[in-house]
Structure 1
């Protein structure tokens, strides 16, 4: 699977909540630099695995609507909206946040990420 195909799986096939997929995709030295409404956060591989578990437990469905995906050498940029259905209201799709993320690969694993998000 190409790196772009891995990123497409991450978002389009609910790989963001798949612990096994993420464990294989993320480099052991992975770091995500995330600017959000809460400020700047640094997340490591274990943090992302824990976030995947939280997303799996808290949302019935998790939908990523990609509007842009650009690949250049070992870098992939994705712009997307994250929508979900909650356990309390599984019939209503709610926009959680809007994201832009830059993924840097080392070989076939994501080594670094730079993400900006804005809540709905």
Structure 2
């Protein structure tokens, strides 16, 4: 039985991959590449880079939660739009939005293979956050 690309991508982003690094290898193809444009610049990452970044981030965050607003599938490509919310170790009782993302993933062999991602710091104004409220997927 084949798993849909939407399920693969959604399961990855909603997994606790920041604290459970096994989720990185469970969802990402061993030959994966991520082409990431962010406010801080461009990054070209492979699975080892993703593992290192998530491992390092887990040292600062008590929890990370992904709120998906859009999840679209076309053939072997999945587009996802989401916001990461975090609670820091210093303040575990307060959850704040940290960044907004849009990513397009090519699925290969039931895993996330090539990703094209853009991100920006989250804006906490009410108007900005309304645009990131969930929609029916």
Match of 1:68 among 44, 67, 70: 70
Structure 1, unaligned stretches of length 5 or more?
none
* Matching residue within 57, 62, 85 for 2:87: 85
- Encode CA deviations 1:17-59: one digit per residue, 9 max, x unaligned: 4311211322222110000011111011100011221232221
Task: Give distance in 1, aligned partners of 2:7 and 2:43.
Answer: 27
Q: How far is 1:11 from its partner? A: 2.1
Q: Over aligned residues, Cα RMSD in angstroms?
A: 1.5
Judge conservation of contact 2:8–2:110 (CA < 8 Å) in 1: no
Residue 2 (structure 1) aligns with: 4
> 2: distance between equivalents of 1:61 and 1:94?
11
Partner of 2:121: 119
Conservation of the 8 A alpha-carbon contact between 1:105 and 1:111: yes
Counterpart check, 1:52 vs 2:54: yes
| Cα distance between partner residues in 1 of 2:6 and 2:87 | 27
Q: Which has the larger radius of gyration?
A: 2
TM-score normalized with structure 1 length: 0.91
Write 1 or 2 for the structure with the bigger share of helix: 1
1-structure distance, mates of 2:61, 2:100: 17
Q: Give the TM-score taking structure 2 as reference length.
A: 0.80
Deviations 1:33-91 (A, max 9, x none): 00001111101110001122123222111011110000111111000011100001111
2:58 alignment partner, SS class? helix
